[in-house]
Amino acid sequence: MVARADFEHGDGADGAEVRFTGRLTLARLGDVPARLDALGPIATLDLSALERIDTVGAWIVTRTVNEHGAKVIGASEEAQRLLDALASDKSEYRVHRDRRPAWVRMLEQVGHASVAIWHELLGIIGFFGAMIVALGTQIRARRRLRWNAVVTRFQAVGVDALPIIGLMSFLIGIVIAQQGAVQLEQFGLEVFTINLVGRASIRELGLLMTAIMVAGRSGSAFAAQIGTMKLTEEIDAMRTIGVSPMEAIVLPRVAASTITMPLLGFYASLCAIAGGGLFCWVGLDIPPLTYIQRLREIIPMTDFWIMLIKAPVFGILIGVTGCYEGMQVRQNAEEVGQRTTSAVVAAIFLVIVLDAMFAVFFSSLGWN
């Protein structure tokens, strides 16, 4: 069994003489610091019987030496190296407990978060404006869009995402049908499960879940790729040779996400409807032909147009957010991870907010 940290002490002429035993490490420390503080003046610290010491243990020894002027004896080579390293650290930082009321600290955190979100939103809007300016410059100068780069992004954003989006949407269709059937069964209206699956898949859930998946998959990839290019100074090199990063890097990615989102959204809606149809066939004994005929009756064309209107907007939002966060990388590789996370969180948040705004807008137009 691993020995816990402990010490023996005796009275000396100038103060207590402390002899440590066991392992003076963070995991085995126990109440040693509190007991040391209760001893009063300490003259000697004997480390000869220690089995092991880590940085936390060395810090306790150093603190005791500084407070009581104690002398350290019997230190091993490892312990002496740690003590020397801490002795050479002259920083005066101290951690003080925040004694303000909890509600004050909470309000402060909310305020800081709100300001950060506001600045992030302004940055994304400014970045979008810069992208529009770059697109206008490219059109005015009659320079061709880099279609090779766009097609490469098609592969990454669209084709490679088909399996996971299809599977996710298929399972969501089954879940919607199952949960809807359980509730409607109480009223003997299981047939209206088809209405629930069809309209929810085409109008909302198919596209919304696709946007969330693309934000987590492709938006994060955009941020990580561009952030890495910033760290390796590839973007600075492009500017040096006269190539606009906005035209060469940002526009192809945003164009690819904008064009593929309607296709992926429609594909996801079909997969969700197929999943709901499978459940209706197996669980509710509704034949596939009846299911399809009912879908044709209850899904209005306005739902399809709503999906096609929202999809490109979501694609632009995801592409711009991912590229913006990648362009904000400045210092080190750790910031790449932070900006990648920010890209996913910001894109999903803005997609959901915009979806809610679209729902209110289309409802006010009577497209119910």
Q: Is residue 108 part of a domain?
A: no
Is 177 in the same domain as 323? Answer: yes
The pLDDT mean for the chain works out to: 86
Please check whether residues 198 and 285 belong to one and the same domain.
yes
The verdict on 161 and 42 lying in the same domain is no
The CB density around residue 246, as the number of other CB atoms within 10 Å, is 19
Tokens of 329: 């990388």
The answer on 352 and 212 residing in a single domain is: yes
Total domains in the chain come to 2
Quick one: 83 and 139 in the same domain?
no
Range of the domain at 244: 130-364
Looking at the fold, whether 146 and 67 belong to one and the same domain comes out as no
Which of 65-69, 218-222, 274-278 shows the lowest per-residue confidence on average (mean pLDDT)?
A: 65-69
- Flag whether 93 is in a domain: no
- The strand pairing partners of 46, in sequence order, are 19, 73
* 1 pLDDT more than 60: no
Q: Which two tokens stand for residue 70?
A: 């104690």
Residue-wise pLDDT for 80-92, tens only, equals 888 888 776 555 5
For residue 176, give the nearest of 145, 138, 203 by alpha carbon: 203
Residue 311 shares a structural domain with residue 183? yes
pTM: 0.70
Domain boundary among 29, 60, 87: 87
**Based on the domain organization, do 215 and 152 belong to the same domain?**
yes
- Domain membership flag for residue 48: yes
Helices vs strands, H then E, count in the chain = 15, 5
The CATH number given to whatever domain includes residue 64 is 3.30.750.24
Whether residue 121 lies inside any domain: the answer is no
In a shared domain, residues 187 and 68: no
Name which residue leads in pLDDT, 117 or 86: 117
Residue 95 covered by a domain? no
Q: Dihedral sign for Cα 183, 189, 194, 196, please.
A: negative
